Amino acid sequence: MTQNGDASPFKLFDVVSDHSDHAYAAASTAASKKQTYVGSVYKTIMKEWRILENNLPDSIHVRVYETRIELLRAVIVGAAGTPYHDALFFFDIMFPSDYPTRPPNVYFRSYGLRVNPNLYASGRVCLSLLNTWAGKKQEKWDPAQSTVLQVLLSIQALVLNEKPYFNEPGTGSPGGSAAEKKSRAYSEDIFVLTCKTTLFSLRNPPRNFEAFTAAHFRERGSRILRACGAYASGRVGVGYFRDESEACSASSATKARAVSVVSKRFKASMQELYPQLIQVFKKNGALLGDVAEVLAVETKTTPVKVKPVKIRVDRKGKVGIAKKVIGKLSKCFCLSKKENQKVANSSTQLAFL
């Protein structure tokens, strides 16, 4: 869909005019005038445009502005196999006047949510490539080689990843049982925030992305709702839902194993957000099919039924379970051998009744 709402596909890269809601629209007057970006800086920005136009993956869309060449806006679609799947994440970017000596300024449209250790609620993006986070020399911005495309791909692959808990320094590495447990709990919280991001995106989409946002969630709405149910019931780990069958590739099968314990807080959050998502998806025109109107979450507090113990005799005529039980009773009550034999004889008779 185009920004005018016609039926043509939404281009991966396009030039638009309205930059009024851009995070850097109110930059200094000197920096906002096209003539400021002249000579080598202007040529470098035009080169960046060509790189983006020819190399964007299907999961990233970019809009640049004809009257403000130093500004651009990008949206990244959350990847499958992560807690961010099917959601949209918007970034406003500005080239500094001495670009590429300095890296671009990047602002995350967070809607006030902290969805990742590297993405702050304030909009700050911490990334070595942007020189906003410590890193090795080869990870930092290189004026001779680094590009905006590399920044976007790094955010998609390294920030919005499978286990964002481990983005935080000091959390260790994936693999340890304690760390993995914390990672799963963190992913639960992140998925809740991702659902809230979806609500905000649909209710207030950024300019020039209104039609794209609506079309995206018309297509993905039912899948997001089914994922909510699967995660809240613990049938599959957060981030690993795969359509109706919840099927996973062989490489991720163990990661998508059923979760035996899902936090009460996560269940409550899902039950609260689910009807809101239903409402906004329907208003947006999504075809939800047989998706339930109410999220029914199975609880783990069903009454325990006590089954009677059956005493069996093995082939040699010895009492199996009864003999073991009697042995434990003898130790508990300090029965003598003679008393113990009387109890055993009476139990053996019961076993044959």
Using DSSP's 3-state secondary structure scheme, residue 109 falls into coil
The answer on 149 and 22 residing in a single domain is: yes
Instruction: Give the DSSP letter of residue 34.
Output: G
* 126 flagged as catalytic: yes
Inside any domain, residue 106: yes
Angle between helices 177-203 and 210-232 (to 10 degrees): 140
CATH code of the domain containing 135: 3.10.110.10
Q: Which domain holds residue 310?
A: 305-353
State pLDDT tens for residues 36-87.
Answer: 677 899 999 999 999 999 999 999 999 999 999 999 999 999 999 999 999 9
The answer on 328 and 234 residing in a single domain is: no
In this predicted structure, what is the pLDDT of residue 205? Answer: 97
In this predicted structure, what is the pLDDT of residue 33? Answer: 55
Structural domain count, the chain: 2
Using a CB cutoff of 8 Å and minimum separation of 24, what contacts does 45-54 make?
A: 45/69, 45/70, 45/95, 45/99, 48/95, 48/147, 48/148, 48/149, 49/13, 51/147, 51/148, 51/149, 52/13, 52/148, 52/149, 53/12, 53/13
Low-confidence ranges of the chain (pLDDT < 50): 1-7, 29, 246-253, 300-306, 309-340, 342-353
| pTM, two decimal places | 0.79
The answer on 324 and 262 residing in a single domain is: no
User: Given CA atoms 270, 271, 276, 279 in this order, what sign does their dihedral have?
Assistant: positive
State pLDDT tens for residues 213-240.
Answer: 999 999 999 999 999 999 999 999 999 9
Partnered with residue 93 across adjacent β-strands are 72, 106
